[in-house]
């Protein structure tokens, strides 16, 4: 077999291992998939009446459902990548990583397995969220092409945040740290245009909200789903995603290779 | 180029490694013949794990030449990885998988064909007495079972050179004996084994050659017999009732060392009946009464203590009193 064939084969083995881990650790997997659903129900049925009243032209709980679904799609990504950090940190703090490193396997396959596994988990969680949203009465004005664009963009965004989560998992000294740091992503979605319009926020916060990556991501998805013009949000969202993906990938690879030199036990 | 009789499985020459300002390995050299067991013996922090991590490509040495079955560790790490197996101090198993799945994972990563992989997995489960627990998650495994599975995983790819870093630490006596038996069988099958241990008995039982590593340097090397011969004859230990008789006896026997706190005198002796009778007669004639006598033949413990320098030296190093050698020991740290 060629080097490429080995890389593909090893990555597939690692992906299968990662998916098995997700099934064997159901409490975490279900929590990560279930959290966005719980938030959806909470925001639509508890807060939705009041929040929907402030939306302007189309008002009410139903309108808020349409408004908040793009935000929750990003929450879904943020929740899923928390699992990525935990899984990566579990591997790195356990003994098995040393075994992999003393074997003649494609070096990157360990990380590739995590990235692909998390990607599949994120897509599954996204599918469930969209299904529940439709069951609650969510309707989209966007056509098939718009949906395709939404899924493509969400995939790109997921890819970027997953690599960041991999790096955070590698940087973490313990599994506990790894499960906490990605919470920042979670918070960032709340501090974006995901749940309320940024123009209702006080000035400093509003500026932060408008210039952080989640807002253009949410705005692009929302624009595509409601049929409203997307403007330059799409370019900004894509640029953020590619930038985060590349920076995180380089950081992760550096951390992964550096671990060889450390550890004087 | 490999596999011929007399070939070296492992050769390391002048390996140095520092972590920051801390020199962990200071020109360590060792050579292990193919199909033999070599034990690296040393206290905690001596650098045993570091040398294993370097030879198994996990970390890089600062300098030195290292070859595994002819492959250079630095320039051909993948060539080395294809030949070696490593079982470390911390269990390198996947806790969220079953025993079978752990072994299958190794078979897949070793690129065995599906059939060959399945056969090898079943074979190892059988050999390591894990067939009954094969489909249980590892969370249900005992310490001994995990260690056996760990070694079984190392053997999936049929490595020619195996590194065992303290393979029996924390195992109960029965599991330890099982592990020893497995290690002996591997060596008999032609596998080269580098074993680290703090357990002198383990090194004595298993290894053809032993190197004693202390503070990053190899301070003694040889067969177990050669090492034991470095402390000729052992010593006789005399217990006295009071400091006066101890002092008198020490005056009579200049080669001895006194432990004033415990009122013990250690006298070098070759272990023969005649020498013992002579010693006791001598004391008796001078009217010195010893309370108890015990004979201590040399074992690897003596060698270990004598060469690792962090101990109270006994009669071998004539003239050195206990107090002085203790201070030397402390200073050497």
Reported ipTM: 0.86
Task: Collect all residues of chain B within an 8 Å Cβ-Cβ radius of residue A100.
Answer: 109
* pLDDT reported for residue A4: 86
Tell me whether residues A104 and B82 touch, CB distance under 8 A. Answer: yes
pLDDT at B332 over 60: no
- CB contact burial A201-220 (16+ within 10 A = b; e otherwise): beeeeeeebeebbbbbbbbb
pLDDT at B3 over 50: no
* pLDDT reported for residue A230: 86
Task: Collect all residues of chain B within an 8 Å Cβ-Cβ radius of residue A24.
Answer: 96-97, 137
Closest approach of B26 to chain A, Cα-based (Å): 15
pLDDT at B2 over 60: no
Helix axes A3-24, A61-93, angle to 10 degrees: 110
Nearest CA in chain A to B137: A24
Out of B84, B96, B111, name the one closest to residue A25 (CB).
B96
pLDDT at B285 over 60: yes
Closest approach of A91 to chain B, Cα-based (Å): 9
Q: Place A237 in a pLDDT band, splitting at 50, 70 and 90.
A: very high
State the Cα–Cα distance between residues B32 and B15, nearest whole angstrom. Answer: 15
| SS3 per-residue string spanning chain B | CCCCCCCEEEEEEEEEEEECCEEEEEEEEEEEECCCEEEEECCCCCCHHHHHHHHCCCCCCCEEEEEECCEECCCCHHHHHCCEEEECCCCCCCCCCEHHHHHHHHHHHCCCCHHHHHHHHHHHHHHCCCCCCCCCEHHHCCHHHHHHHHHHHHHCCCCCEEEEECCCCCCCHHHHHHHHHHHHHHHHCCCEEEEEECCHHHHHHHCCEEEEEECCEEEEEECHHHHHHCCCCCEEEEEECCHHHHHHHHHHCCCCEEECCCCEEEEECCCCHHHHHHHHHHHHHCCCCEEEEEEECCCHHHHHHHHHCCCCCCCCCCCCCHHHHHHHHHHHC
Nearest 10 degrees: CA dihedral of B123, B124, B127, B132? -90
Residue ranges of B 148-167 with Cβ closer than 8 A to chain A:
153-154, 157
Q: Token match 């313990």: residue? A: A174
B122 touching A, CB under 8 A?
no
Tell me whether residues B153 and A99 touch, CB distance under 8 A. Answer: yes
Helix axes A233-258, A109-135, angle to 10 degrees: 140
* pLDDT reported for residue B31: 94
Closest approach of A170 to chain B, Cα-based (Å): 17
State the Cα–Cα distance between residues B258 and B250, nearest whole angstrom. Answer: 7
Measured on CA atoms in the order B141, B143, B148, B154, is the torsion positive or negative?
Answer: positive
Tell me whether residues A10 and B109 touch, CB distance under 8 A. Answer: yes
State the Cα–Cα distance between residues B254 and B330, nearest whole angstrom. Answer: 25
Tell me whether residues A6 and B111 touch, CB distance under 8 A. Answer: yes
Beta bridge partners of B30: B12
* pLDDT reported for residue A22: 93
State the Cα–Cα distance between residues B26 and B38, nearest whole angstrom. Answer: 19
* pLDDT reported for residue B6: 61
pLDDT at A264 over 70: no
Q: Counting beta carbons within 10 angstroms of the beta carbon of residue A177, is it exposed (0 to 12), middle (13 to 18) or buried (19 or more)? A: middle
B88 touching A, CB under 8 A?
yes
Contact A81, A118 (CB under 8 A): yes
Tell me whether residues A102 and B60 touch, CB distance under 8 A. Answer: no
Out of A24, A98, A99, name the one closest to residue B96 (CB).
A24
Tell me whether residues A103 and B91 touch, CB distance under 8 A. Answer: no
Closest approach of B288 to chain A, Cα-based (Å): 52
Share of chain A above pLDDT 90, in %: 72
∠B187-B192-B196 over CA atoms, to 5°? Answer: 95
Contact B42, B308 (CB under 8 A): yes
Tell me whether residues A1 and B111 touch, CB distance under 8 A. Answer: yes
Taken as a whole, chain B contains a residue count of: 333
Beta bridge partners of B28: B15
For chain A, the domains span 3-258
Contact B213, B219 (CB under 8 A): yes
Span B13-70, pLDDT tens digits: 999 999 988 999 999 999 999 999 999 998 888 899 999 999 999 999 999 999 999 9
| Closest C-alpha among A124, A191, A128 to residue A158 | A124
Best probe of the B interface among A88, A264, A265, by most B CBs < 10 A, is A264
Which tokens belong to A11? 């990555």
Contacts of A250 (CB under 8 A, 6+ apart): none
State the Cα–Cα distance between residues B170 and B184, nearest whole angstrom. Answer: 20
∠A91-A95-A101 over CA atoms, to 5°? Answer: 80
* pLDDT reported for residue B231: 64
Q: How many CB atoms lie within 10 A of CB B245?
A: 20
Best probe of the A interface among B73, B90, B111, by most A CBs < 10 A, is B111
Share of chain B above pLDDT 70, in %: 87
* pLDDT reported for residue A56: 75
pLDDT at B301 over 80: no
Tell me whether residues A99 and B86 touch, CB distance under 8 A. Answer: yes
Give the containing element (helix H, strand E) for A57: none
Out of B24, B58, B154, name the one closest to residue A101 (CB).
B58
Out of A20, A95, A100, name the one closest to residue B88 (CB).
A95
B24 touching A, CB under 8 A?
yes
Nearest CA in chain B to A259: B59
Q: Which domains does chain B have, with CATH numbers?
A: 8-227 (3.40.50.300), 235-332 (3.30.70)
**DSSP tag of A137:** T
Task: Collect all residues of chain B within an 8 Å Cβ-Cβ radius of residue A28.
Answer: none
Q: Counting beta carbons within 10 angstroms of the beta carbon of residue B161, is it exposed (0 to 12), middle (13 to 18) or buried (19 or more)? A: buried
Taken as a whole, chain A contains a residue count of: 265
Task: Collect all residues of chain A within an 8 Å Cβ-Cβ radius of residue B92.
Answer: 94-96, 98-99
∠A89-A90-A92 over CA atoms, to 5°? Answer: 60
Tell me whether residues A102 and B50 touch, CB distance under 8 A. Answer: no
Instruction: Summarize the confidence of residues B290-310 as an average pLDDT.
Output: 73
Range list of H helices, chain A: 3-24, 26-41, 48-53, 61-93, 96-101, 109-135, 144-171, 175-180, 183-190, 203-211, 214-226, 233-258
Nearest CA in chain B to A24: B96
Instruction: Summarize the confidence of residues A170-197 as an average pLDDT.
Output: 91
Contact B66, B40 (CB under 8 A): no
pTM (predicted TM-score): 0.81
Q: Token match 């959290």: residue? A: A35
Share of chain B above pLDDT 90, in %: 48
State the Cα–Cα distance between residues A142 and B246, nearest whole angstrom. Answer: 100
* pLDDT reported for residue B312: 36
Q: Place B320 in a pLDDT band, splitting at 50, 70 and 90.
A: very low
B84 touching A, CB under 8 A?
yes
Which tokens belong to B35? 């199909």
Span B85-108, pLDDT tens digits: 999 877 899 999 999 999 999 999
Instruction: Summarize the confidence of residues A136-161 as an average pLDDT.
Output: 94
Distance of CA A242 to the CA centre of its chain: 14
Q: Place A54 in a pLDDT band, splitting at 50, 70 and 90.
A: confident
State the Cα–Cα distance between residues A121 and A143, nearest whole angstrom. Answer: 25
Q: What is the largest CA-CA distance in chain A?
A: 65
A231-235, A257-261, B209-213, B281-285: least confidently modelled range: A257-261
Q: Place B200 in a pLDDT band, splitting at 50, 70 and 90.
A: confident
B192 touching A, CB under 8 A?
no
Contacts of A23 (CB under 8 A, 6+ apart): A29
Out of A17, A94, A264, name the one closest to residue B19 (CB).
A264
A229-238, B87-96, B264-273: least confidently modelled range: B264-273
Q: Counting beta carbons within 10 angstroms of the beta carbon of residue B105, is it exposed (0 to 12), middle (13 to 18) or buried (19 or more)? A: buried
Tell me whether residues A96 and B92 touch, CB distance under 8 A. Answer: yes
Span B166-195, pLDDT tens digits: 988 878 888 889 889 999 999 999 999 999
Closest approach of B177 to chain A, Cα-based (Å): 24
């Amino acid at each position: 077999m060629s080097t490429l064939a080995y890389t593909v084969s090893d990555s597939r083995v690692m992906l299968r291992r990662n998916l098995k881990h997700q099934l064997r650790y159901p409490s975490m997997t279900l929590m990560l998939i279930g959290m966005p659903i719980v938030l959806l129900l909470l925001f639509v049925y508890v807060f939705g009446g009041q929040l929907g009243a402030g939306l302007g032209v189309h008002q009410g709980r139903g309108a808020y459902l349409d408004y908040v679904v793009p935000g929750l799609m990003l929450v879904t990504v943020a929740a899923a990548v928390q699992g990525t950090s935990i899984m990566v940190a579990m591997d790195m703090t356990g003994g098995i990583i040393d075994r992999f490193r003393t074997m003649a396997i494609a070096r990157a396959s360990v990380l590739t397995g995590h990235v692909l596994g998390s990607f599949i988990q994120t897509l599954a969680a996204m599918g469930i969220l969209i299904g529940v949203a439709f069951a609650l009465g969510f309707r989209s004005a966007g056509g098939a092409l718009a949906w395709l664009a939404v899924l493509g963009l969400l995939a790109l965004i997921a890819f970027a945040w997953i690599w960041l989560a991999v790096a955070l998992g590698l940087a973490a000294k313990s599994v506990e740290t790894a499960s906490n740091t990605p919470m920042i992503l979670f918070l960032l979605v709340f501090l974006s245009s995901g749940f309320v319009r940024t123009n209702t926020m006080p000035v400093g916060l509003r500026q932060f909200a408008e210039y952080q990556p989640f807002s253009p991501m949410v705005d692009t998805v929302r624009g595509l789903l409601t049929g409203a013009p997307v403007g330059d949000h799409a370019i900004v969202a894509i640029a953020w995603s590619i930038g985060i993906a590349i920076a995180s990938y380089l950081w992760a690879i550096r951390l992964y290779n550096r671990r060889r030199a450390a550890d004087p036990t | 180029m490999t596999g011929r009789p007399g070939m070296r499985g492992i050769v390391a020459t002048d390996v140095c490694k520092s972590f920051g300002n801390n020199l962990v390995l200071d020109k360590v050299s060792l050579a292990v013949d193919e199909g033999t067991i070599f034990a690296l013996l040393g206290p905690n922090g001596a650098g045993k794990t570091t040398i294993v991590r370097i030879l198994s490509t996990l970390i890089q040495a600062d300098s030195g030449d290292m070859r595994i079955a002819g492959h250079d560790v630095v320039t051909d790490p993948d060539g080395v990885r294809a030949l070696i197996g490593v079982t470390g101090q911390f269990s390198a198993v996947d806790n969220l998988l079953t025993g079978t799945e752990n072994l299958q994972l190794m078979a897949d990563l070793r690129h065995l064909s599906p059939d060959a992989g399945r056969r090898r997995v079943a074979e190892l489960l059988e050999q390591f007495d894990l067939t009954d627990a094969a489909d249980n998650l590892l969370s249900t495994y005992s310490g001994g079972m995990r260690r056996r599975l760990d070694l079984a995983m190392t053997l999936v790819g049929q490595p020619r050179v195996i590194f065992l870093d303290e393979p029996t630490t924390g195992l109960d006596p029965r599991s330890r004996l099982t592990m020893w038996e497995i290690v002996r069988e591997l060596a008999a099958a032609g596998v080269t084994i580098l074993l680290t241990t703090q357990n002198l008995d383990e090194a004595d039982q298993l290894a053809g050659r032993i190197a004693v590593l202390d503070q990053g340097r190899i301070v003694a090397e040889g067969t177990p017999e050669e090492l034991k011969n470095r402390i000729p004859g052992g010593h006789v230990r005399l217990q006295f009732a009071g400091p006066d008789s101890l002092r008198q006896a020490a005056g009579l026997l200049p080669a001895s060392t006194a432990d004033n706190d415990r009122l013990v005198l250690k006298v070098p002796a070759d272990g023969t009946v005649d020498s013992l009778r002579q010693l006791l007669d001598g004391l008796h004639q001078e009217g010195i009464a010893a309370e108890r006598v015990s004979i201590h033949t040399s074992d690897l413990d003596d060698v270990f203590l004598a060469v690792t320098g962090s101990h109270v030296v006994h009669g071998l190093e004539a003239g050195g009193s206990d107090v002085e050698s203790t201070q030397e020991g402390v200073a050497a740290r």
